[in-house]
């Protein structure tokens, strides 16, 4: 099925498509082929809505195309964010992401070193895990912090930067510290 564009809507679509394709220089080269599809996706979405509004004589209005462009762009951002958070270039990067995801998934409750080791079931050796946790802490993606509970009990855990609870005290990383959850005296 084909649809007509209302006056000026073809320019609206072309500007969007050009802007998305112009992102080629700003994103990781491995994700550049993804950009080619988002103009098409916006056009398809607009067509579907236009046909839904008037199946006999569909017209893509500026409102419909603006909405379709916004949905396509949001989808692109979600895909790129997911790719950055979940796609590894090599085995070492995959290990890094695996450890980071364990901490991130725990959210506000945090995770102990013991639970990380238990969840890994020996797939990452101790030295490599120490290196990954040190890198995550150095990048400030993950924090080892102490949180005193209402009961007075202190919890020392890893939290993602986004989930670090209010009132938690970050324990500074010291080179050669190892995996221990207790801060050096």
Please provide the average confidence, as pLDDT, over all residues in the chain.
Answer: 87
pTM of the model: 0.55
Q: CA gyration radius for the chain? A: 24
**DSSP type of residue 93:** H
Minimal CA–CA distance to 34: which of 65, 62, 88, 73? 73
| Tokens standing for residue 148 | 């005193």
Question: Residue 32: what pLDDT?
Answer: 80
| Tokens standing for residue 168 | 């938690």
Over range 149-159, report the average pLDDT. Answer: 90
SS3 23: helix
Beta-carbon contacts of 145 under 8 Å, excluding residues fewer than 6 positions away, are: 110, 156, 157, 158, 159, 164, 165, 168, 169, 170, 171
Range list of H helices, the chain:
9-22, 32-53, 62-86, 91-106, 113-120, 126-138
Q: Is residue 175 very low, low, confident or very high in pLDDT (cuts 50, 70, 90)?
A: low
Over range 100-109, report the average pLDDT. Answer: 91
C-beta neighbour count of 60 within 10 angstroms: 24
| Tokens standing for residue 4 | 């007509």
Q: Which domains does the chain possess?
A: 4-86 (no CATH), 91-170 (1.10.10)
Question: Residue 23: what pLDDT?
Answer: 87
pLDDT tens for 44-81 read: 999 999 999 999 999 999 999 999 999 999 999 888 88
């Amino acid at each position: 099925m084909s649809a007509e564009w209302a006056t000026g809507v073809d320019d609206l679509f072309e500007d969007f498509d050009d802007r998305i394709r112009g992102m080629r220089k700003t994103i990781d080269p491995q994700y550049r082929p993804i950009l080619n599809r988002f103009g098409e996706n916006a056009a398809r979405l607009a067509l579907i809505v236009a046909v839904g509004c008037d199946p006999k004589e569909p017209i893509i209005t500026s409102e419909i195309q603006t909405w379709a462009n916004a949905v396509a762009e949001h989808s692109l951002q979600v895909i790129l964010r997911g790719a950055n958070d979940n796609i590894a270039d090599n085995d070492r990067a995959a290990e890094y992401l695996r450890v980071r995801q364990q901490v991130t998934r725990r959210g506000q409750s945090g995770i102990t070193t013991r639970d990380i080791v238990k969840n890994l079931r020996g797939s990452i050796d101790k030295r490599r895990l120490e290196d990954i946790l040190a890198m995550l802490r150095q990048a400030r993606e993950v924090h080892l912090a102490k949180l005193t509970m209402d009961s007075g009990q202190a919890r020392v855990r890893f939290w993602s930067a986004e989930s670090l609870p209010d009132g938690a005290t970050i324990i500074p990383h010291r080179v050669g510290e190892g995996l221990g959850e207790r801060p050096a005296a």
